[in-house]
Structure 1
Amino acid sequence: MLTLDKHDATFVNLNTRIERHGDERELAADIKLSLRAQNTILDQLEPGLRKDIFRKPSRGEQPDIPEIGGDQLVAVKHPSIEPLRLSHEFEGYEIEIAGLMDHVEPLLLVDVKLKKFVVAPLEGGSVELTFTASTNVGQDEVSELCEAFVREDVRLTVTPPKRQAQGDPEDSREAA
């Protein structure tokens, strides 16, 4: 399950739309985000995917690079491959979109569906990951999303459903 904690990202696109639930009409948004990360993030999406895409560099191919995730899988196995589209969809996530400056209040979106993953492997052991986050939103949230879209550079936190259920240990002590 994908997890990110205050990771720098780029807000690529915003699409607002109406979802119909019977006779009800609800405002929804599709948020396209892009980020660069170590290739170990692939292990969160699909175990074994990183080893399918990356390999150890051949002697003299690259200078010594620190190990990532206990191995040296930093060279792209097939440099001519196009970015990979993954059919994964993850539901029930929370995402927090914050500005790079602390004075901007972060926007928290709940019950988010992550989908349309695209992975572009990069030499040196990193990837460019692009995905879409879809959720129902209110009019105020649309305004805040537009502000984030204009800023373009954001700090992104992605929390899977399991972590939400566990909650913060501090919160459970206060409840007791």
Structure 2
Amino acid sequence: MSMLWNENPNYLSGAGLVWDIAGAYLLGRGLLVADKAIMDLAKTKWSFSASILRSECEHRLDTKFGLGLLIFGFLIQALASAWVNLDLASATWLAFLVVVPLGWLHGHYQVWVLMDTFRALETLPTRDLTEEILRKTFADYPERIWKMAVINSDFDFARPDQKLDAK
């Protein structure tokens, strides 16, 4: 028998690899930045750059989910190394379950990025950022996403005619 063919493959290990690949993609997604996003980050700004803030919040969210997927994938592979063996059908279902957290992330991604951005803005000593300025940075987000994030984060913007002190 050739060393390239295993008569008794452990499909559980393959399922763990699927989770690892999904996690590695999310961790590496920061390297796959569009040219427009790079140029937005490279522009000079006053005070802080809203586009850099958005980018870093996106990277943090991707990293949290990517790391979780990697850890879960490695745990599956550890089980496979401990001689836990699954049949092909069960391992295939386990591998396809990766769509659950990826779907959850996709469905909530924009709301979570906005909420993370608001959370970061809470650290500023003054609230001189108007909603209009931040909306320009998130112009690609639909109104319903914006409303969900504002309601769930309870973030208050300064009005254009006044500056508010931090809470």
- What is the TM-score of this pair, normalised by structure 1? 0.20
- What is the TM-score of this pair, normalised by structure 2? 0.21
More strand by share: 1
Larger radius of gyration: 2
More helix by share: 2
